[in-house]
């Protein structure tokens, strides 16, 4: 079984700033969110723990790993999408025109195309040992891409991604159980 976790809250999340590859640490609430997930997952049998190499994910993973004492495997393929020139800008101040450019021609903003995120995620998941119980701590954008990957595997269709996954709300500290072999993912409410 694979357990997917979004990192805890940062000040930039609170301030609604666009946060991609910018390396921001957890705030106190984010640490509490990680402790709550840690408490819920403490009795699970876990074989491996992977994390994005960005600080907010690493800190979340370290708190969760206090229960397991496993080696944390950092992997930059689990990073958030790179928002380029939009990093650090409060989302409510960005116009629809800017979002349209980001969604349709991200290179104009020095940002990462979603197909690149999909390719990173696919590469990561193609290497996993599905006979193990695995925790993966990552980011909202990466999780949306993982959700797409679980349902669609080898083919990326931006239209389907945009319609079904792009705007999916994923809270900080969200916790999902993923049965990759049966193409299912469900959020664990707590």
> Given pLDDT bands bounded at 50, 70 and 90, which one contains residue 146?
very high
Active site annotation includes 59 = no
Residue 182, pLDDT > 90, answer no
What integer pLDDT is reported at residue 67 of this predicted model? 92
Sequential DSSP letters for 159-175: HHHHHHTTT----TT-E
Predicted TM-score (pTM) of this structure:
0.95
CA distances from 119 to 78, 91, 112 (A): 11, 26, 12
pLDDT tens by residue, 86-134: 999 999 999 999 999 999 999 999 999 999 999 999 999 999 999 999 9
Active site annotation includes 21 = no
The number of distinct structural domains making up the chain is 1
| Mean of pLDDT values over 156-179 | 94
CA distances from 94 to 63, 108, 181 (A): 34, 15, 39
Q: Which domain holds residue 7?
A: 2-187
Residue 190, pLDDT > 80, answer no
CB of 8 within 8 A of CB of 172?
Answer: yes
Closest of 162, 189, 165, 185 to residue 4, by C-alpha: 185
Residue 62, pLDDT > 80, answer yes
**Which residue in the list 80, 87, 112, 139 is annotated as catalytic?**
80
**Which residue in the list 7, 59, 112, 139 is annotated as catalytic?**
7
From CA 113, how far away is CA 81, in angstroms rounded?
8
> Given pLDDT bands bounded at 50, 70 and 90, which one contains residue 181?
confident
CATH number for position 154: 3.40.50.1240
47 three-state secondary structure: coil
What integer pLDDT is reported at residue 97 of this predicted model? 96
> Given pLDDT bands bounded at 50, 70 and 90, which one contains residue 148?
very high
């Amino acid at each position: 079984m694979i357990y997917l976790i979004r990192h805890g809250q940062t000040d930039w999340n609170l301030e609604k700033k666009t946060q991609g590859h910018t390396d921001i640490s957890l705030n106190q609430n984010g640490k509490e969110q990680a402790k709550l997930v840690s408490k819920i997952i403490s009795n699970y049998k876990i074989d491996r723990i992977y994390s994005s190499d960005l600080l907010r994910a690493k800190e979340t993973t370290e708190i969760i790993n206090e229960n397991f004492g496993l080696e944390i495997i950092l992997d930059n393929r689990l990073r958030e999408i790179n928002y380029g020139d939009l990093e650090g800008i409060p989302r409510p101040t960005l116009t629809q025109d800017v979002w349209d450019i980001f969604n349709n021609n991200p290179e104009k903003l020095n940002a990462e195309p979603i197909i690149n995120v999909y390719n990173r995620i696919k590469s990561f998941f193609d290497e996993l040992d599905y006979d193990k119980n695995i925790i993966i701590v990552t980011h909202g954008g990466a999780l949306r891409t993982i959700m797409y990957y679980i349902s669609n595997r080898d083919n990326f269709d931006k239209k389907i991604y945009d319609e079904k996954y792009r705007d999916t709300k994923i809270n900080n500290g969200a916790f999902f159980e993923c049965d990759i072999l049966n193409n299912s993912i469900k959020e664990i409410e707590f």
